[in-house]
Structure 1
């Protein structure tokens, strides 16, 4: 007698959505408490304006500024968050090297975390040394952070470890990506009132179009890119997997993609807010709203594209977390329409566009190029259009 086909696992699917809903609700509750407590928190750290004024005047403040740049991709600008990100990444790398459980494989399981992070930090330092003068010269924020999450680590992941590869990636990031980003911010985003994330993401793929063909002809580079990491068998995607995946998405931009690194990032950023709510997120006080929209967009992305995660082993659900969702809140304020619309539209359109572009790139391009193109396109389309609807006045 033939047994009838098993019914789809509805309870497991329901459990995933319930877990995601609980995570979003918990984040919204925490955000409410943080916003309500803002007026009673002591200002034990210098505020953002004072920090920016002193950033290039004294070495301790300069180092703090550079650490804060490591969290600019998430729009946090928190030096303690940067310390947490790096510390969590180091713990995850050491645990993985000792074959201990450390969450999602850091640096895509390549073992290159020290090299890519070293290249990224050197590119960040060179960017600030070379282009930091633009901040006091203009009196406005400038995207000195872009090298940390673009060319230097991507070159290392593409061509493997080695001082020549790491140093070349760091220099190219500082020489190409950062000035392109500054020019786009200064001459396009500021005059036109556009989100600066359009310029920062745009500078990453524009410089990549120059860098990766160049790397093919540099005599000290390997003749062929390093082979991609072996696909990992997808784990059981239950409720716990959803929570872990959302957390890990917070550090996909710096190529970490690991829960421990993300936990350090978020813990340090929240501590910065508690020590002075006018320090993170450029002193805007928007951290509670940002966290809410970022968790919401990451949760929706993970739930909507779970099957893609299972099929490919990785999927760019982090794309709206560092682009459309925070840009909507920064542009239109901490309102429910901005939080929800930016998160939903970003989660629906950002990841599939990024995946579509990345799969059609030449093999000597790192797939991150597709991610940043998607960030540019989706932010440029979604955020200005939202301003046409009621409830999105600036």
Structure 2
């Protein structure tokens, strides 16, 4: 659900989210939340547009949720990054002017970085072949972008299918591959603040960290500096490969990454089941003091809840404060909530990203 875009109302909308988080966490004697705001404009680093044709002329279009018949036609998108807005007009004009680029084009996806790198994916309702490459390469060079073509079952990559983001956290630069089609945090400025908060909440520990749902290593990289060793887990193959590349690119050598679902991690750590993917990894050699979780909107499942209750500290990043509150009802029996934060990843919506630190009672 979204609210009207009005930078003049941003502070009031953020305050409403703060009050909502306070209300949800009140049963757990939560301290005052730390609030991390967003730039009021040009904060979103990725955007996806359908193309809507009127008299054969394409326009960028978005739709209200659940309504695909009444388009909202756009020439600019003020919540999107400056780089996306700079590219929207020239890219569409080039596709209108060249039938190879424009024929049966139905969707355009933009992915950008804080430093201005851009990757654009053009999606077609027709097969793509090598005839697409020459005009696409000329357009990519003219606009200084990475350009990818997609059609059913086909993907044409001219150079590479990723761009590199640089995030500054606690005085250090971290470099991340942002892969086309993979998950990335959409609000880079708030992501930096979120990483900084997580690093501060983690403190410095001579023991080890267990991380579930590590994705492409967004949190893993900076958190690796605060623990002796890290065991990070992720199920999605593409995210695992991206995380491995990011660890290598940043020279991080104290992280062991395994491809397991959270319930499989629980089975492995409790000795219920052995996994071939853990061969050669000495789980008993880890000395975990802290568990870090960044689960999907459904929150932690019952088995994972039982697992995390076994650690001295729980660092929990949530994309759904309602399921966070439900999980805290259980975690509150063994841990106390000592820090909480609100990260405004999605201004002008009711969506809230939050974080809590819990310590054993």
TM-score by length of 1: 0.23
Q: Which has the higher contact order (CA 8 A, sep 6+)?
A: 1
Mark the structure with the bigger radius of gyration. 2
- The structure richer in strand per residue is 2
TM-score by length of 2: 0.24
